[in-house]
Structure 1
Amino acid sequence: MVAGVSPNYRGDVVNPRNLAADIPPELNCSLFVTNLPGATTVKILLQVLASHGPFDRIYACHVTEPDPAQGFTTASAKITTFSRPGAERLYSFIAQNRLVMNNLVSRVIWNRNMVGPQPLPQHYTRVLCLRGPKTVVDGHVLFRFLQRCNITFHTQDVFVTQETENERAMVWQFGSYRAQAEAARAALQARWPAMAVQFGPDPCATGIHDRAVGLPGRNVVDRNVQQGPLGMIPGSQ
Protein backbone atom coordinates (compact mmCIF):
# COMPACT_ATOMS: atom_id res chain seq x y z
CA MET A 1 0.00 0.00 0.00
CA VAL A 2 1.29 3.47 -0.92
CA ALA A 3 1.44 5.79 2.08
CA GLY A 4 -1.68 7.96 2.34
CA VAL A 5 -3.69 5.90 -0.15
CA SER A 6 -6.59 3.67 0.85
CA PRO A 7 -6.33 -0.01 -0.20
CA ASN A 8 -9.76 0.49 -1.83
CA TYR A 9 -8.46 3.31 -4.05
CA ARG A 10 -8.62 2.31 -7.73
CA GLY A 11 -6.83 5.30 -9.27
CA ASP A 12 -3.23 5.95 -10.32
CA VAL A 13 -1.14 5.69 -7.15
CA VAL A 14 2.06 6.49 -9.07
CA ASN A 15 1.03 10.02 -10.05
CA PRO A 16 2.28 12.34 -7.25
CA ARG A 17 -0.73 14.61 -7.76
CA ASN A 18 -2.93 11.70 -6.67
CA LEU A 19 -1.16 11.26 -3.33
CA ALA A 20 -2.51 12.73 -0.11
CA ALA A 21 -1.42 16.26 0.72
CA ASP A 22 0.23 16.93 4.07
CA ILE A 23 -2.62 19.07 5.40
CA PRO A 24 -4.95 18.95 8.42
CA PRO A 25 -8.29 17.21 7.77
CA GLU A 26 -10.21 20.46 8.24
CA LEU A 27 -8.63 21.80 5.03
CA ASN A 28 -9.46 18.74 2.93
CA CYS A 29 -11.43 19.68 -0.20
CA SER A 30 -11.81 16.17 -1.62
CA LEU A 31 -14.88 13.95 -1.34
CA PHE A 32 -15.36 10.26 -2.06
CA VAL A 33 -18.87 9.50 -3.33
CA THR A 34 -20.21 5.95 -3.56
CA ASN A 35 -23.38 4.10 -4.60
CA LEU A 36 -23.59 5.83 -7.97
CA PRO A 37 -25.35 4.06 -10.86
CA GLY A 38 -23.05 1.87 -12.90
CA ALA A 39 -23.53 3.96 -16.05
CA THR A 40 -22.49 7.20 -14.34
CA THR A 41 -19.95 9.28 -16.25
CA VAL A 42 -18.17 12.50 -15.36
CA LYS A 43 -20.50 14.32 -17.77
CA ILE A 44 -23.64 12.90 -16.14
CA LEU A 45 -22.44 13.48 -12.59
CA LEU A 46 -21.44 17.10 -13.19
CA GLN A 47 -24.71 17.86 -14.98
CA VAL A 48 -26.67 16.50 -12.03
CA LEU A 49 -24.59 18.46 -9.52
CA ALA A 50 -24.94 21.66 -11.56
CA SER A 51 -28.71 21.29 -11.49
CA HIS A 52 -28.63 21.19 -7.67
CA GLY A 53 -26.00 23.90 -7.07
CA PRO A 54 -24.44 26.27 -6.46
CA PHE A 55 -21.61 24.45 -4.67
CA ASP A 56 -18.14 25.48 -5.83
CA ARG A 57 -15.74 25.38 -8.75
CA ILE A 58 -14.73 21.80 -9.50
CA TYR A 59 -10.98 21.30 -9.35
CA ALA A 60 -11.04 17.62 -10.26
CA CYS A 61 -13.64 14.92 -10.87
CA HIS A 62 -13.00 11.26 -11.56
CA VAL A 63 -15.55 8.45 -11.85
CA THR A 64 -14.61 4.81 -11.31
CA GLU A 65 -16.76 2.18 -12.99
CA PRO A 66 -18.14 -0.84 -11.11
CA ASP A 67 -15.83 -3.82 -10.73
CA PRO A 68 -18.00 -6.78 -9.65
CA ALA A 69 -15.00 -9.11 -9.59
CA GLN A 70 -13.54 -6.96 -6.82
CA GLY A 71 -16.87 -6.56 -5.03
CA PHE A 72 -17.69 -3.08 -6.38
CA THR A 73 -21.19 -3.30 -7.89
CA THR A 74 -21.83 0.44 -8.22
CA ALA A 75 -19.75 3.34 -9.47
CA SER A 76 -17.86 5.79 -7.28
CA ALA A 77 -16.39 9.23 -7.74
CA LYS A 78 -13.71 11.45 -6.33
CA ILE A 79 -14.74 15.11 -6.43
CA THR A 80 -12.36 17.88 -5.41
CA THR A 81 -13.44 21.51 -5.13
CA PHE A 82 -11.28 24.63 -5.14
CA SER A 83 -12.20 25.60 -1.56
CA ARG A 84 -13.06 23.98 1.75
CA PRO A 85 -16.38 25.89 2.14
CA GLY A 86 -17.40 24.64 -1.30
CA ALA A 87 -16.48 21.09 -0.36
CA GLU A 88 -18.53 21.40 2.81
CA ARG A 89 -21.58 22.58 0.86
CA LEU A 90 -21.29 19.61 -1.49
CA TYR A 91 -20.65 17.19 1.38
CA SER A 92 -23.72 18.45 3.26
CA PHE A 93 -25.93 18.10 0.18
CA ILE A 94 -24.92 14.48 -0.42
CA ALA A 95 -24.87 13.55 3.28
CA GLN A 96 -28.51 14.67 3.52
CA ASN A 97 -29.38 11.94 0.97
CA ARG A 98 -30.26 14.54 -1.66
CA LEU A 99 -28.10 13.15 -4.45
CA VAL A 100 -30.36 10.46 -5.93
CA MET A 101 -29.59 9.00 -9.34
CA ASN A 102 -31.66 6.18 -10.87
CA ASN A 103 -33.25 5.55 -7.46
CA LEU A 104 -29.84 5.08 -5.83
CA VAL A 105 -29.05 7.34 -2.88
CA SER A 106 -25.41 8.37 -3.02
CA ARG A 107 -23.13 8.18 0.02
CA VAL A 108 -20.22 10.47 0.80
CA ILE A 109 -17.16 10.54 3.04
CA TRP A 110 -14.15 12.81 3.15
CA ASN A 111 -11.52 11.36 0.85
CA ARG A 112 -8.53 9.87 2.67
CA ASN A 113 -6.42 11.11 -0.23
CA MET A 114 -6.62 14.70 1.01
CA VAL A 115 -6.33 17.73 -1.26
CA GLY A 116 -6.07 21.25 0.11
CA PRO A 117 -7.61 24.51 -1.15
CA GLN A 118 -6.24 25.76 -4.44
CA PRO A 119 -4.34 29.09 -4.27
CA LEU A 120 -5.53 30.22 -7.69
CA PRO A 121 -7.43 33.34 -8.82
CA GLN A 122 -11.20 33.17 -8.42
CA HIS A 123 -11.80 33.22 -12.17
CA TYR A 124 -9.77 30.06 -12.82
CA THR A 125 -12.21 27.25 -13.65
CA ARG A 126 -12.64 24.05 -15.65
CA VAL A 127 -14.52 26.05 -18.30
CA LEU A 128 -12.79 27.69 -21.25
CA CYS A 129 -14.33 30.40 -23.44
CA LEU A 130 -12.72 30.39 -26.88
CA ARG A 131 -12.92 32.94 -29.68
CA GLY A 132 -11.21 32.88 -33.06
CA PRO A 133 -11.49 31.86 -36.73
CA LYS A 134 -14.24 29.33 -37.46
CA THR A 135 -11.70 27.03 -39.09
CA VAL A 136 -9.97 26.67 -35.72
CA VAL A 137 -12.70 27.21 -33.11
CA ASP A 138 -14.48 24.01 -34.07
CA GLY A 139 -15.26 21.16 -31.69
CA HIS A 140 -13.88 18.41 -33.89
CA VAL A 141 -10.72 20.32 -34.82
CA LEU A 142 -9.97 21.15 -31.20
CA PHE A 143 -10.74 17.65 -29.98
CA ARG A 144 -8.26 16.16 -32.42
CA PHE A 145 -5.67 18.77 -31.46
CA LEU A 146 -6.00 17.99 -27.74
CA GLN A 147 -5.70 14.29 -28.54
CA ARG A 148 -2.45 14.92 -30.39
CA CYS A 149 -1.21 16.80 -27.33
CA ASN A 150 -1.85 13.63 -25.27
CA ILE A 151 -4.26 15.47 -22.98
CA THR A 152 -6.72 13.06 -21.36
CA PHE A 153 -9.97 14.84 -20.59
CA HIS A 154 -13.70 14.56 -20.02
CA THR A 155 -16.29 17.00 -21.31
CA GLN A 156 -19.49 18.14 -19.66
CA ASP A 157 -20.58 20.21 -22.64
CA VAL A 158 -19.33 22.07 -25.72
CA PHE A 159 -21.44 24.73 -27.37
CA VAL A 160 -21.30 27.82 -29.55
CA THR A 161 -22.22 31.16 -27.98
CA GLN A 162 -21.63 33.53 -30.88
CA GLU A 163 -20.92 33.28 -34.58
CA THR A 164 -20.21 35.64 -37.46
CA GLU A 165 -19.21 34.95 -41.05
CA ASN A 166 -15.59 34.28 -40.14
CA GLU A 167 -15.41 34.05 -36.36
CA ARG A 168 -16.86 31.80 -33.70
CA ALA A 169 -17.07 31.88 -29.91
CA MET A 170 -17.37 28.60 -28.05
CA VAL A 171 -17.58 27.36 -24.48
CA TRP A 172 -15.89 24.09 -23.50
CA GLN A 173 -16.80 22.70 -20.08
CA PHE A 174 -14.13 20.19 -19.10
CA GLY A 175 -14.59 17.57 -16.41
CA SER A 176 -11.76 18.99 -14.29
CA TYR A 177 -9.54 22.02 -14.02
CA ARG A 178 -6.58 19.93 -12.94
CA ALA A 179 -4.69 18.45 -15.90
CA GLN A 180 -7.63 19.13 -18.24
CA ALA A 181 -8.76 22.77 -18.59
CA GLU A 182 -5.36 24.00 -17.38
CA ALA A 183 -3.51 21.79 -19.87
CA ALA A 184 -5.88 22.59 -22.74
CA ARG A 185 -5.53 26.32 -22.09
CA ALA A 186 -1.74 26.15 -22.20
CA ALA A 187 -1.74 24.02 -25.36
CA LEU A 188 -4.24 26.23 -27.20
CA GLN A 189 -2.42 29.44 -26.32
CA ALA A 190 0.88 27.97 -27.46
CA ARG A 191 -0.51 26.70 -30.77
CA TRP A 192 -2.78 29.67 -31.62
CA PRO A 193 -1.54 32.82 -29.84
CA ALA A 194 -4.18 34.94 -31.58
CA MET A 195 -7.04 32.81 -30.23
CA ALA A 196 -8.80 34.37 -27.24
CA VAL A 197 -8.80 31.80 -24.43
CA GLN A 198 -10.48 32.85 -21.19
CA PHE A 199 -11.99 31.09 -18.21
CA GLY A 200 -15.77 30.96 -17.93
CA PRO A 201 -18.19 30.30 -15.06
CA ASP A 202 -18.36 26.77 -13.67
CA PRO A 203 -21.99 25.57 -13.70
CA CYS A 204 -21.38 23.76 -10.41
CA ALA A 205 -20.35 27.06 -8.81
CA THR A 206 -23.09 29.23 -10.28
CA GLY A 207 -25.97 26.79 -10.17
CA ILE A 208 -26.69 27.80 -13.77
CA HIS A 209 -27.61 24.72 -15.77
CA ASP A 210 -29.06 26.41 -18.85
CA ARG A 211 -26.49 27.03 -21.58
CA ALA A 212 -28.05 30.35 -22.51
CA VAL A 213 -27.76 32.00 -19.10
CA GLY A 214 -24.78 33.80 -17.64
CA LEU A 215 -22.49 33.63 -20.66
CA PRO A 216 -20.85 36.99 -21.43
CA GLY A 217 -21.29 38.27 -24.96
CA ARG A 218 -23.96 35.78 -25.92
CA ASN A 219 -26.35 37.19 -28.53
CA VAL A 220 -26.72 34.36 -31.01
CA VAL A 221 -28.83 31.27 -30.45
CA ASP A 222 -26.82 28.04 -30.72
CA ARG A 223 -26.71 26.91 -34.33
CA ASN A 224 -28.32 23.56 -35.04
CA VAL A 225 -25.42 22.65 -37.27
CA GLN A 226 -23.20 22.87 -34.20
CA GLN A 227 -25.45 21.32 -31.61
CA GLY A 228 -25.80 17.92 -33.25
CA PRO A 229 -22.18 17.08 -34.04
CA LEU A 230 -20.66 18.82 -31.04
CA GLY A 231 -22.85 16.96 -28.64
CA MET A 232 -21.46 13.71 -30.00
CA ILE A 233 -17.75 14.45 -30.24
CA PRO A 234 -15.59 11.86 -28.48
CA GLY A 235 -14.90 12.79 -24.90
CA SER A 236 -18.24 14.56 -24.46
CA GLN A 237 -20.02 11.51 -23.10
Structure 2
Amino acid sequence: MSQDQVTAPPKLNMSSTIPTMDLRVFVPSEQLTGNSSAERQISRHNGNYRGDCSLSINTGANVQEQNNTNLWITGLPGTITIQELLAAITRTGRVRSTVVNAPTGTIMTAAASISFFNRKDAENLYRKIENGRILYRGTFPSIQWNRNKVGEGDAHPLASRVLLIAGDPEIVNEKYLNEFFSKKFVYEIDCIINHGTVDGFNGPISRLEYRFGSWRSQASSARLALTLELKGFLLVEYGPDPCAGQGPGLR
Protein backbone atom coordinates (compact mmCIF):
# COMPACT_ATOMS: atom_id res chain seq x y z
CA MET A 1 0.00 0.00 0.00
CA SER A 2 1.27 3.48 -0.83
CA GLN A 3 2.33 5.70 2.04
CA ASP A 4 0.69 8.71 0.41
CA GLN A 5 -2.56 7.41 -1.05
CA VAL A 6 -4.64 4.30 -0.54
CA THR A 7 -7.32 3.44 -3.08
CA ALA A 8 -10.20 1.93 -1.13
CA PRO A 9 -12.14 -0.67 -3.10
CA PRO A 10 -15.90 -0.20 -3.36
CA LYS A 11 -16.64 -2.87 -0.74
CA LEU A 12 -15.23 -0.64 2.00
CA ASN A 13 -18.32 1.17 3.21
CA MET A 14 -17.00 3.16 6.13
CA SER A 15 -20.14 5.27 6.46
CA SER A 16 -22.06 2.27 7.84
CA THR A 17 -22.85 1.88 11.52
CA ILE A 18 -19.89 0.51 13.47
CA PRO A 19 -20.70 -3.11 14.45
CA THR A 20 -20.91 -4.15 18.09
CA MET A 21 -18.73 -6.78 19.75
CA ASP A 22 -21.70 -9.16 20.00
CA LEU A 23 -21.22 -10.80 16.61
CA ARG A 24 -20.94 -14.59 16.80
CA VAL A 25 -20.15 -15.59 13.23
CA PHE A 26 -16.65 -16.66 14.27
CA VAL A 27 -16.49 -19.48 16.83
CA PRO A 28 -14.20 -18.53 19.77
CA SER A 29 -11.24 -20.79 20.45
CA GLU A 30 -11.39 -23.68 22.88
CA GLN A 31 -9.00 -21.84 25.20
CA LEU A 32 -11.67 -19.20 25.72
CA THR A 33 -14.76 -21.42 25.73
CA GLY A 34 -13.38 -24.39 27.63
CA ASN A 35 -15.06 -26.82 25.20
CA SER A 36 -14.20 -30.48 25.50
CA SER A 37 -12.57 -32.30 22.60
CA ALA A 38 -15.96 -33.85 21.77
CA GLU A 39 -17.63 -30.45 21.66
CA ARG A 40 -14.78 -29.17 19.56
CA GLN A 41 -15.27 -31.97 17.05
CA ILE A 42 -18.90 -30.87 16.63
CA SER A 43 -17.90 -27.23 16.29
CA ARG A 44 -15.49 -28.05 13.47
CA HIS A 45 -18.48 -28.94 11.30
CA ASN A 46 -20.39 -25.77 12.07
CA GLY A 47 -21.23 -23.97 8.83
CA ASN A 48 -19.60 -20.75 10.07
CA TYR A 49 -16.38 -22.43 11.17
CA ARG A 50 -13.32 -22.91 9.00
CA GLY A 51 -11.20 -25.21 11.16
CA ASP A 52 -8.95 -25.04 14.20
CA CYS A 53 -5.38 -24.50 13.02
CA SER A 54 -4.01 -26.13 16.19
CA LEU A 55 -5.64 -29.47 15.32
CA SER A 56 -3.80 -30.21 12.08
CA ILE A 57 -3.00 -33.80 11.21
CA ASN A 58 0.49 -32.46 10.54
CA THR A 59 1.46 -32.63 14.20
CA GLY A 60 2.77 -35.23 16.66
CA ALA A 61 3.12 -38.86 15.66
CA ASN A 62 2.02 -38.12 12.09
CA VAL A 63 5.27 -36.25 11.40
CA GLN A 64 8.51 -37.97 10.44
CA GLU A 65 11.56 -36.75 12.35
CA GLN A 66 13.22 -35.43 9.18
CA ASN A 67 10.14 -33.29 8.50
CA ASN A 68 9.88 -31.80 11.99
CA THR A 69 9.94 -27.98 11.99
CA ASN A 70 9.55 -27.53 15.75
CA LEU A 71 12.51 -26.55 17.95
CA TRP A 72 13.00 -26.49 21.72
CA ILE A 73 15.19 -23.66 23.03
CA THR A 74 16.41 -23.69 26.64
CA GLY A 75 18.62 -21.49 28.81
CA LEU A 76 16.65 -18.33 28.02
CA PRO A 77 16.36 -15.40 30.46
CA GLY A 78 13.58 -16.07 32.94
CA THR A 79 11.68 -12.91 32.03
CA ILE A 80 12.10 -13.15 28.26
CA THR A 81 9.18 -11.92 26.17
CA ILE A 82 7.87 -13.05 22.80
CA GLN A 83 9.16 -9.79 21.32
CA GLU A 84 12.68 -10.26 22.72
CA LEU A 85 12.79 -13.89 21.63
CA LEU A 86 11.75 -13.18 18.04
CA ALA A 87 13.80 -9.99 17.67
CA ALA A 88 17.02 -12.04 17.62
CA ILE A 89 15.70 -14.47 15.02
CA THR A 90 16.30 -12.57 11.79
CA ARG A 91 16.92 -13.86 8.26
CA THR A 92 15.80 -17.29 9.38
CA GLY A 93 12.29 -17.97 8.07
CA ARG A 94 8.56 -17.55 8.60
CA VAL A 95 7.57 -18.48 12.14
CA ARG A 96 4.55 -20.75 12.43
CA SER A 97 4.11 -20.74 16.20
CA THR A 98 5.89 -19.58 19.34
CA VAL A 99 5.33 -20.57 22.95
CA VAL A 100 7.44 -19.29 25.86
CA ASN A 101 7.55 -21.41 29.01
CA ALA A 102 8.34 -19.47 32.18
CA PRO A 103 10.75 -20.83 34.84
CA THR A 104 9.31 -23.52 37.09
CA GLY A 105 10.49 -24.94 40.41
CA THR A 106 14.22 -24.63 40.87
CA ILE A 107 14.87 -23.90 37.19
CA MET A 108 15.48 -20.16 36.84
CA THR A 109 15.65 -20.02 33.06
CA ALA A 110 12.85 -20.01 30.51
CA ALA A 111 12.36 -22.26 27.51
CA ALA A 112 10.59 -21.77 24.20
CA SER A 113 9.00 -23.88 21.52
CA ILE A 114 9.20 -22.37 18.06
CA SER A 115 8.08 -23.95 14.80
CA PHE A 116 8.42 -22.81 11.20
CA PHE A 117 6.45 -23.26 8.00
CA ASN A 118 9.19 -25.41 6.50
CA ARG A 119 12.04 -27.60 7.67
CA LYS A 120 14.75 -25.56 5.95
CA ASP A 121 13.96 -22.47 8.04
CA ALA A 122 13.93 -24.52 11.23
CA GLU A 123 17.37 -25.88 10.32
CA ASN A 124 18.57 -22.29 9.79
CA LEU A 125 17.71 -21.38 13.37
CA TYR A 126 19.07 -24.66 14.71
CA ARG A 127 22.48 -23.97 13.12
CA LYS A 128 22.55 -20.34 14.28
CA ILE A 129 21.99 -21.25 17.91
CA GLU A 130 24.22 -24.32 17.77
CA ASN A 131 27.04 -22.18 16.32
CA GLY A 132 26.65 -19.48 18.97
CA ARG A 133 25.30 -16.80 16.64
CA ILE A 134 22.31 -15.84 18.81
CA LEU A 135 22.69 -14.29 22.23
CA TYR A 136 20.10 -13.30 24.84
CA ARG A 137 21.27 -10.84 27.50
CA GLY A 138 24.81 -12.11 27.27
CA THR A 139 23.88 -15.79 27.41
CA PHE A 140 23.96 -18.42 24.67
CA PRO A 141 20.82 -20.59 24.66
CA SER A 142 20.77 -24.30 23.88
CA ILE A 143 18.66 -25.92 21.18
CA GLN A 144 17.31 -29.32 20.21
CA TRP A 145 14.54 -30.72 18.04
CA ASN A 146 11.23 -30.62 19.87
CA ARG A 147 9.69 -34.01 20.71
CA ASN A 148 6.29 -32.42 19.99
CA LYS A 149 6.77 -32.57 16.24
CA VAL A 150 5.15 -30.12 13.80
CA GLY A 151 5.24 -30.75 10.07
CA GLU A 152 5.23 -28.34 7.18
CA GLY A 153 1.50 -28.72 6.65
CA ASP A 154 -0.50 -27.20 3.82
CA ALA A 155 -0.72 -23.52 4.80
CA HIS A 156 -1.16 -20.84 2.14
CA PRO A 157 2.26 -19.83 0.74
CA LEU A 158 1.74 -16.26 2.00
CA ALA A 159 0.53 -17.34 5.46
CA SER A 160 2.27 -15.36 8.18
CA ARG A 161 2.03 -14.37 11.83
CA VAL A 162 1.89 -10.78 10.56
CA LEU A 163 -1.35 -9.09 9.52
CA LEU A 164 -1.69 -5.83 7.60
CA ILE A 165 -5.02 -4.21 8.44
CA ALA A 166 -6.44 -1.09 6.79
CA GLY A 167 -9.86 0.53 7.07
CA ASP A 168 -12.22 2.70 9.10
CA PRO A 169 -10.23 4.50 11.85
CA GLU A 170 -13.07 3.83 14.30
CA ILE A 171 -12.34 0.12 13.94
CA VAL A 172 -8.72 -0.05 12.81
CA ASN A 173 -7.19 1.14 16.06
CA GLU A 174 -5.48 -0.77 18.85
CA LYS A 175 -8.23 -0.28 21.43
CA TYR A 176 -11.01 -1.66 19.23
CA LEU A 177 -9.01 -4.49 17.67
CA ASN A 178 -7.41 -5.66 20.92
CA GLU A 179 -10.84 -5.93 22.53
CA PHE A 180 -12.25 -7.61 19.43
CA PHE A 181 -9.47 -10.22 19.33
CA SER A 182 -9.62 -10.89 23.08
CA LYS A 183 -13.23 -12.03 22.69
CA LYS A 184 -12.29 -14.53 19.98
CA PHE A 185 -9.05 -16.29 20.91
CA VAL A 186 -5.98 -16.27 23.15
CA TYR A 187 -3.03 -14.48 21.60
CA GLU A 188 0.34 -12.87 22.25
CA ILE A 189 1.70 -9.82 20.50
CA ASP A 190 5.22 -9.38 19.23
CA CYS A 191 4.48 -5.75 18.38
CA ILE A 192 1.90 -3.47 16.78
CA ILE A 193 3.08 -0.89 14.25
CA ASN A 194 0.94 2.12 13.40
CA HIS A 195 1.55 3.09 9.78
CA GLY A 196 -0.61 6.18 10.04
CA THR A 197 -3.78 7.35 8.34
CA VAL A 198 -4.08 8.21 4.65
CA ASP A 199 -6.83 9.56 2.43
CA GLY A 200 -9.16 7.13 0.69
CA PHE A 201 -12.12 7.60 -1.65
CA ASN A 202 -14.62 7.23 1.20
CA GLY A 203 -12.67 9.00 3.92
CA PRO A 204 -9.55 8.45 6.01
CA ILE A 205 -8.03 4.98 6.15
CA SER A 206 -6.10 3.81 9.18
CA ARG A 207 -3.30 1.26 8.76
CA LEU A 208 -1.98 -1.08 11.44
CA GLU A 209 0.48 -3.94 11.30
CA TYR A 210 -0.14 -6.66 13.90
CA ARG A 211 2.77 -9.00 14.54
CA PHE A 212 1.42 -11.90 16.55
CA GLY A 213 3.55 -14.43 18.37
CA SER A 214 2.19 -17.19 16.13
CA TRP A 215 0.36 -17.76 12.88
CA ARG A 216 -1.27 -20.93 14.15
CA SER A 217 -4.42 -20.09 16.12
CA GLN A 218 -3.44 -16.41 16.42
CA ALA A 219 -2.85 -14.48 13.17
CA SER A 220 -4.88 -17.09 11.28
CA SER A 221 -7.78 -16.75 13.73
CA ALA A 222 -7.56 -12.95 13.68
CA ARG A 223 -7.67 -12.86 9.88
CA LEU A 224 -10.65 -15.21 9.80
CA ALA A 225 -12.60 -13.25 12.43
CA LEU A 226 -11.94 -9.91 10.72
CA THR A 227 -12.95 -11.28 7.34
CA LEU A 228 -16.17 -12.87 8.60
CA GLU A 229 -17.37 -10.20 11.00
CA LEU A 230 -15.99 -6.87 9.81
CA LYS A 231 -16.22 -7.22 6.06
CA GLY A 232 -16.87 -3.82 4.50
CA PHE A 233 -15.13 -1.90 7.29
CA LEU A 234 -11.56 -3.03 6.68
CA LEU A 235 -9.21 -5.04 4.52
CA VAL A 236 -6.76 -7.56 5.95
CA GLU A 237 -3.92 -9.49 4.38
CA TYR A 238 -0.84 -11.38 5.48
CA GLY A 239 2.37 -9.37 5.70
CA PRO A 240 6.01 -10.48 5.56
CA ASP A 241 7.46 -11.98 8.72
CA PRO A 242 10.47 -9.96 9.89
CA CYS A 243 12.05 -13.22 11.07
CA ALA A 244 12.37 -14.14 7.40
CA GLY A 245 14.38 -11.00 6.69
CA GLN A 246 11.94 -9.71 4.11
CA GLY A 247 11.68 -6.24 5.61
CA PRO A 248 8.74 -4.39 7.20
CA GLY A 249 5.22 -4.35 5.82
CA LEU A 250 3.03 -1.49 4.65
CA ARG A 251 5.85 0.69 3.33
Residue 160 of structure 1: CA displacement? 1.7
Is 1:174–1:180's contact at 8 Å kept on the other side of the alignment? Answer: yes
Distance in 2, Cα, partners of 1:186 & 1:16: 16
Return the TM-score normalized by structure 1: 0.77
- Aligned pair 1:155/2:193, yes or no? no
Residue 204 of structure 1: CA displacement? 0.3
- Aligned pair 1:144/2:179, yes or no? yes
Distance in 2, Cα, partners of 1:82 & 1:92: 17
Residue 121 of structure 1: CA displacement? 2.3
Distance in 2, Cα, partners of 1:178 & 1:199: 13
Is 1:97–1:107's contact at 8 Å kept on the other side of the alignment? Answer: no
Counterpart for residue 82 of structure 1: 117
Picking from 36, 39, 48, the partner of 2:76 is 36
- Amino acid corresponding to residue 228 of structure 2 in structure 1: A
Matched residues, number? 193
Note the 1:2-151 alignment, pairs <5 A.
20-49=60-89, 53-67=90-104, 69=105, 71-149=106-184, 151=185
Q: Between Structure 1 and Structure 2, whose CA radius of gyration is higher? A: 2
Distance 1:200 1:102, change over 3 A: same
Counterpart for residue 237 of structure 2: 198
- Amino acid corresponding to residue 130 of structure 1 in structure 2: I
Over the residues paired in the alignment, what is the CA RMSD in angstroms?
Answer: 1.9
Secondary structure of the 2:206 match is: strand
Picking from 170, 178, 185, the partner of 2:223 is 185
Q: Mean alpha-carbon deviation: is it higher for 25-34 or for 199-208?
A: 199-208
Distance 1:200 1:25, change over 3 A: same
Higher relative contact order (CA 8 A, sep 6+): 2
Is 1:32–1:78's contact at 8 Å kept on the other side of the alignment? Answer: yes
Deviations 1:11-31 (A, max 9, x none): xxx986696242221100000
Secondary structure of the 1:100 match is: coil
Residue 118 of structure 1: CA displacement? 2.6
Deviations 1:55-112 (A, max 9, x none): 1110000000011x2x322000000000000000010001112221112110000001
Deviation above 3 Å: which 4+ runs of structure 1?
A: 14-19
Distance in 1, Cα, partners of 2:64 & 2:193: 40
Return the TM-score normalized by structure 2: 0.72
Gaps of 5+ in 2: 1-36, 38-53
Is 1:56–1:86's contact at 8 Å kept on the other side of the alignment? Answer: yes
